[in-house]
Amino acid sequence: MSAQPNPNLATQGTPGRIVRRPWPAPGVWLKYVFLTVGAVIMLVPFADMVLGSLRTIPERLAHPPVYWPHDPQWRNFGRVFRDLPMLRWIGNSIIVTTAVTGVQLVTSAMAGYALAKFKFKGRDLMLRCVLGAQMFPFFLFLIPMFFILRFWPLAGGNGLTGQGGTGLLNNYLALILPFAVSWYGIFMMRQFMVSIPDELLDAARVDGAGEFRIFFTIALPLAKTALATLGIFVFIYQWNEVIWSMTVTRIAPRLQTVPVGIYLIRGAFIDERTLSLQQASLAVSVVPVLVLFLMLQRYYVRGVTAGGVKG
Amino acid sequence: MIHLDRRTSMKRLVDGIVRALVVVGALTATGASAQGITLTIATHYTDEQRGPLTGCLREYERLNPGTAIVHRQLSYRDFLQTLFMSRMSGKPPDIYNLSTAWTAQLVESGALAVPPAAVTDFVVGNYLANTSETMTANGHVWGIPAEVDVYMLIYNKILFARAGIAKPPTNADEFVKDAASISKSNRQGQLTTAGFGFGPSPDQVVAPFLTLLNSNGGSLFSPDRKSTNLTSATARDALETEVRLFTTKGTSRGAAPNQFSSGSLGMMIVPNWYQKQLHQELGEHFDETVGVAPIPGGMNWRTVQYGFFWAVDATSQHPAEAWALLKWLNTARTPGGRSCVGDMLLDLGALTGNKDDLAASAADIGNPFMRPFVDALSSGRALPEVSIPHANEIKDLLSNYTERALLGMLSPEQALSEADNGIRLILRESE
Amino acid sequence: MTKRQAIPYVFLTPVMLFGVVFFVLPIGFAFYLTFTNFQAFVPHRGVGLLNYKYLLARDPFFFQTMRNTAVFALGSLALEIPIALIVAYTISKSRFRAFWRSIYWLPMATNVVAIAFVWKFLLDGPTGLLNRILDVFGLPGPGWLTDPKFAMLSVILVFVWMTLGSNMLLLSAGMEGIDESSYEAARMDGANTFHILTRVAIPLLKPTLLFVMTTDLIVCLSSFPLMLVLTEGGPAQTTTVTALYMYQMAFANLRLGRASAAAFILFLLILAVTMLQLRLFRRGGIDAY
């Protein structure tokens, strides 16, 4: 395509002239119309949330309520940090999410490496267990996990028998340990590690390198992209995790994460006067992840390609 | 060579694990406070609602060095489950503000500490008898009465005048007719103004039904509390009145009390604490907008009252200090003045059974809004909610079935008989 | 065993420990709970199969929640896979693919609490944005979340909106793997876009599609956070799926024994459905997992 289409022609040219540069075939622009409509549907809820956070109380109480805020209440975003323990929630989210991501990367890489690069008794069985474990829905673990953490021996004032204290329940570990291993993560890392050539590892062995050195200096660096991808997966998933965190931190408010905090304090948003604040806090909970995702989305897309489909 | 290398790697791994364990240990070590005690109070009041109380707690800390008081707000809907899980976790709060409906269940399970005789005497001497009855079980008064609320019909005077209705409804037929004539729909069929509305939670769904049921001379439970009266004609009449509100478009499931201040709601049956919210939202328009009337249940109308009480957990490490704090919070601070809790409750628009607080609050409870609520309470028209095991579960069940009838999914008879079945099953099981 | 042979086990130690403490132990304990009347504040005792009997024979809501679960899962699958397929295909034929994919993926990076509350506002009967827009076109608007006939549909639509991105991305990845020459050949034969999609792309995508269907079905059958926040299962329990019912049983009514039994029944059903599905696929010559 040589010349740029003249915008004037397209908008105000006479019909006779346009014949020479006709509209592209419907298939060409129709798909952009389709994608744009879809994109609007994806984005409008976010816009609605931000608009909602900017409304004044009289606008909410008007009959009918005013949709477009005329006097945007940007200070609601300040109130999110002043009137709600938002900073603590964000701090907790960061601690828990980072820890889970780190631990899961380590456990997944180690297990994936062993399952991919070693022949040993029980390997196939273990691989099948890893795959099978993914079939167990999380709700099955909600109730018993609570008890296991509560009666964890020698923690939180507990004795050897798990009595006497609170176990791990009053502790960040309650939010971290149940997510220390991801079966999906192991499988994904295993699929990746399989493609590392054995010759590379054997050559290092011949050179006298120890197995752990081989793992850390050869296998891990080669798996950097896969690790980055898994890391983003885990981070986003964990940041948005609600059910388990809510079940545990209901009784330990100082451990609440952002979405859990906002949900459990819903009783404070009972009337029209506080709904703008609620929507502002929702916006605050959403934005950091969206920014992170948009910055790293390249890895994410690549990761789905690498780990999603196993033929 | 290889061996050695592997061994060092091994050692490094073991080192790593040991170090990780140490970190775990450090993380789990509870930061035992040096000296002094910490009392944790759990209530459902938001920061704004318990403003006056917070000031008092800080003052108490000043007066009693070595005592720190931590407040924990729990959503009312989550309160009982959080209480249970806290007790499971081994570190429950010391002090609770509990619904009197839960007394039976909590007492039965030994969750509450028996108050010392001095506290019981204090309650007997300083509180209206009917407020402490609902928290009495097994021969003990299990704490100090707190908030008391009564349901009444609140209506929008402006909307009534606009619809040409001179006075609020006094019986079921007028109730249904007025609601229908106030309602306005848009061209989509949505009610932009609803004649009547109630909220989404089980309590809010069930409350109007219970007030109508009580007005017809009925009651939810049989006297022995082993079965219900839901299959009676009075119960059916009460539910049918509500169903008619729906079929005549006097209300819809989306119409909720939150919309009252915007002028989109003609009537609602809500407790007195709505006063504060309405005042804040309506400002100077409060008096010309808000009217209070009896439950539209005829001459012998009745309503529902419910309450809260302060209690101490049976496993609290500092029961004496906890009761001392509670007594201080509920005692008039100056002769002829109000207690801290009284300040909070009356600021909220709630009522109390504390005689001193009532005596010192003539202005707060004598205004045209509060007067009818107080009268309903003192005349005995407000019947207390029965305390029964699994009270929440029973209310959820009743709410589920009444909602089915209101939305036209079941006939009122069917809904009530199924609810009766379900509730009897629960009651029988907890024998 | 020589040290060399021990190496893989050392690498697997953390995972095996986790498997014992956070997988085998919880499942065993949950299974034990199903045979007790464990509930709040009451000392518990063994009750044999009573919990199972209650759920399957007496519980007035259990089967309704099963039906809701089936409607939710099938409805979500029926909507989200075709939509994701069309979106993924269109994107693969457009420019700025990364841009489009990011936009469609945004809800996946959003927490479910925010999604549910935001849609609560959008779907409000008289004042929500959706009905305002419908009204502009003179269309009727129901009470999306308050009308029992529409509530489940609304939940499904929000769920599809929320999970579209991940399906779209998986299918996109599958499409990237399709050789452009397959399309060319079809185009030479005079096939139009629709035919290319249905006769070329979809058959080649079969492994990806089946993978997406299998995992989505498990997710849909066990998912409940959206309903928990958006509708709390209402109105009149029309959106209470079994997993949500189990959660409410456990953490609102505090009947942990009965709730564990409900969890196991649901799990066995999910397992059976998944096995059946995999079997059908395998018979169709596809090994999705």
B38-69 confidence digits (pLDDT tens): 999 999 998 888 889 999 999 999 999 999 99
- Cβ contacts (< 8 Å) between C8 and chain A: which residues? 114-115, 118, 120, 123
**Cβ B186–C135 below 8 Å, yes or no?**
yes
Q: Torsion-angle region of residue B383: left (phi > 0), alpha (psi -120 to 50) or beta?
A: beta
Q: Give me the residues paired with residue B42 across strands.
A: B72, B96
Mapped onto helix, strand or coil, the DSSP state of residue B350 is coil
**DSSP per position, A174-236:** HHHGGGS--HHHHHHHHHHHHTS-HHHHHHHHHTT--HHHHIIIIIHHHTHHHHHHHHHHHHH
At B148-168, the pLDDT tens digits run 999 999 999 999 999 999 999
Mean pLDDT of chain B: 89
Question: Do B33 and B318 meet the contact criterion of CB atoms below 8 Å apart?
Answer: no
Instruction: Count Cβ–Cβ pairs < 8 Å, chain A vs chain C.
Output: 241
| Nearest-angstrom CA–CA distance, C123 and A23 | 38
CB-based contact B286:A61 (threshold 8 Å): no
Give A-chain residues touching C117 at CB under 8 angstroms: 262, 278-279, 282
Which of B1, B393, B402 to mutate against chain C (most C CBs within 10 Å)?
Answer: B393
Q: CA B59, CA B343: separation in Å to the nearest integer?
A: 15
pLDDT at C9: 92
Query: Which member of C10, C140, C237 has the closest CB to residue B188?
Result: C140
**pLDDT band at C281; cut points 50, 70, 90:** confident
- In terms of average pLDDT, the best of A121-130, C74-83, C135-144 is C74-83
User: What residues of B are in contact with residue A251 (Cβ under 8 Å)?
Assistant: 82, 85-86, 89, 91
C254 at interface of B, judged by CB pairs closer than 8 A = yes
Query: pLDDT at position A11, please?
Result: 39
Q: Are B132 and B124 in contact (CB under 8 A)?
A: yes
- The pLDDT tens digits for C1-40 are 577 788 899 999 999 999 999 999 999 999 999 999 887 6
Judged by a CB distance cut-off of 8 A, whether residue A250 touches chain B is yes
Using the 8-state DSSP alphabet, how is residue C124 labeled? -
Strands B95-99 and B191-196: unpaired
Closest listed residue to residue A282, CA positions, set C283, C241, C110, C218: C110
Question: Residue A156 is encoded by which pair of tokens?
Answer: 């939180």
Alpha helices, DSSP H only, in B64-191?
Answer: 79-89, 103-108, 117-126, 129-133, 157-162, 172-182
pLDDT at A18 over 50: no
On the question of a cis peptide bond just before residue A22, with omega within 30 degrees of 0, the verdict is: no
Identity at C98, one-letter amino acid code: A
In terms of Cβ atoms closer than 10 Å to its own Cβ (0-12, 13-18, 19+), residue B236 is buried
Return d(Cα B26, Cα B22) in angstroms, integer: 6
* CB proximity C24 to B under 8 Å: no
> Pairing state of beta strands B67-73 and B290-293?
unpaired
Overall average pLDDT of the C196-214 stretch: 84
Q: Which residue of C has its CA nearest to A257?
A: C111
pLDDT of residue B73: 85
pLDDT band at A12 (very low <50, low <70, confident <90, very high): very low
State the average pLDDT over residues A35-45. 95
What average pLDDT is seen over chain A?
84
* Confidence (pLDDT) at A309: 38
pLDDT band for position B28 (cuts 50, 70, 90): very low
Q: Please report, as a single letter, which amino acid is at residue B337.
A: G
CB B409 within 8 A of CB C148: yes
pLDDT at A308 over 60: no
8 Å CB contact between B211 and B303: yes
- Closest-CA distance of chain A to residue B231, Å: 34
| Per-residue pLDDT tens digits for B204-226 | 999 999 999 999 888 999 988 88
Token pair for B354: 């504390």
The minimum CA-CA distance between A31 and chain B, rounded to whole Å, is 32
Question: Which subunits have 3 or more CB–CB pairs within 8 Å of chain B?
Answer: A, C
What are the distances in angstroms from CA C286 to CA A100, A124, C127, C209, C211? 35, 21, 49, 11, 10
Flag whether pLDDT at B287 surpasses 90: yes
- A-B CB pairs within 8 A amount to 106
- The string of DSSP codes covering B159-223 is HHHHTT--S---SHHHHHHHHHHH-EE-TTS-EEEEEE---SSHHHHHHHHHHHHHHTT--SB-T
Q: Residues in chain B whose beta carbon is closer than 8 A to a beta carbon of chain C?
A: 3, 6, 10, 13, 80-81, 84-85, 87, 105-106, 108-111, 186-192, 200, 252-254, 264, 390, 392-393, 396, 400, 403-404, 407, 409, 418, 421-422, 425
Nearest CA in chain C to B401: C236
Give the residue-averaged pLDDT of B366-383: 92
Burial string for C136-153 (b: 16+ CB within 10 Å, else e) reads: eeeeebbbbbbbbebbbb
What pLDDT was estimated at residue B385?
A: 87
Contact at CB, B10 and C10, closer than 8 angstroms: yes
Q: Give the separation between CA B149 and CA B365, rounded to whole angstroms.
A: 12
Which of A39-48, B80-89, B293-302, B351-360 has the least mean pLDDT?
Answer: B80-89
Answer yes or no: do B254 and C126 touch at CB < 8 A: yes
**Arithmetic mean of pLDDT, A216-239:** 88
* Alpha carbon B19 to chain centroid, angstroms: 49
Nearest chain C residue to A136, by CA: C267
Name the residue among A49, A177, A305 with its Cβ closest to that of C176. Answer: A305
Q: Is a pLDDT exceeding 70 seen at residue B319?
A: yes
Mean pLDDT across B134-157:
93
In chain B, which residue's Cα lies nearest the Cα of A210?
B6
B22 and chain A: CB distance < 8 Å anywhere?
no
pLDDT for B26 equals 46
The verdict on ipTM greater than 0.95 is: no
Please tell me if residue C14 touches chain A, with a CB cutoff of 8 Å.
Answer: yes
Task: Find how far residue A214's CA is from the centre of its chain.
Answer: 31
- Cα B429 versus chain centre, distance: 25
Interface of C with B in 174-233 (CB under 8 A): 232
Does A170 touch chain B if contact means CB atoms closer than 8 Å? yes
Q: CA of C119: how far to CAs of A47, B385, C110, C112, C128, in Å?
A: 12, 36, 13, 10, 9
C-alpha torsion angle, residues B33, B38, B41, B47 (rounded to 10) = -70
Which of the two residues, A218 and C44, has the higher pLDDT score? A218
- What average pLDDT does this structure show over B113-130? 92
**C-alpha–C-alpha distance, residues C241 and C247, integer Å:** 10
The CA-CA-CA angle for residues B111, B390, C31, to 5°, reads: 85
Distance CA B10, CA C78 (A): 52
- CB contact at 8 A, A290 and C109: yes
> Which residues of chain B make contact with A271, given a CB cutoff of 8 A?
258, 277, 281
Q: How confident is the model at residue C125 (pLDDT cuts 50, 70, 90)?
A: confident
Q: Which residues in chain C (218-257) have CB-CB distances under 8 A to chain A?
A: 218, 221-222, 224-225, 228-229, 243, 246-247, 250-251, 256
Which contiguous run of DSSP H or E holds residue A16?
A: helix A15-18
Q: How does DSSP classify residue C94? A: S
The single-letter code of the amino acid at A182 is: S
Q: For chain A, state the CA radius of gyration.
A: 27
Give the angle subtended at the CA of C254 by the CAs of C251 and C255, to the nearest 5°: 120
pLDDT band at C282 (very low <50, low <70, confident <90, very high): confident
Q: Are A86 and A301 in contact (CB under 8 A)?
A: no
Q: Is the pLDDT of residue A267 over 80?
A: no
- Which residues of C fall within a CB distance of 8 Å from B106? 41
Q: How confident is the model at residue B4 (pLDDT cuts 50, 70, 90)?
A: very low
Residue B377 has a CB neighbour count (10 Å cut-off) of 23
Cα–Cα dist B127/B146, whole Å: 10
CA distance B47 to chain A (A): 8
- How many C-beta atoms surround the C-beta of residue C67 within 10 A? 11
Determine whether the interchain pair C118/A45 forms a contact, defined as Cβ–Cβ distance below 8 Å.
yes
3-state secondary structure of B146: strand
Candidate ranges A199-213, B76-90, B337-351; pick with highest mean pLDDT: B337-351
Mutate: best of C44, C100, C111, C278, partner A, most A CBs <10 A: C111
Q: Give residue B3's pLDDT band: very low, low, confident or very high (50, 70, 90).
A: very low
pLDDT given at position C252: 86
Q: Does C146 contact B253 at a Cβ distance shorter than 8 Å?
A: yes
Q: What is the pLDDT of residues B171-202, one digit of tens each?
A: 999 999 999 999 999 888 889 999 999 988 89
Q: How far apart are CA B46 and CA C16, in angstroms?
A: 45
CA distance A35 to chain C (A): 7
Closest CB to A35: pick one of C12, C23, C90.
C90
pLDDT digits (tens, 9 = 90+) for B254-286: 898 988 999 999 999 999 999 988 998 999 999
Under the banding of pLDDT at 50, 70 and 90, the label for residue C182 is confident
Chain B: closest CA distance from residue A93 (Å): 17
CB contact under 8 A, C235 and B191: no
Residue C280 confidence (pLDDT): 81
Whether A253 and B72 lie within 8 Å, measured CB to CB: yes
Task: Select the residue of A35, A45, A113 nearest C119 (Cβ to Cβ).
Answer: A45
**Residue C81's CB: how many other CB atoms inside 10 A?**
18
For the record, the structure tokens of B215 come out as: 């007005």
Q: Using an 8 Å Cβ cutoff, are B148 and B304 in contact?
A: no
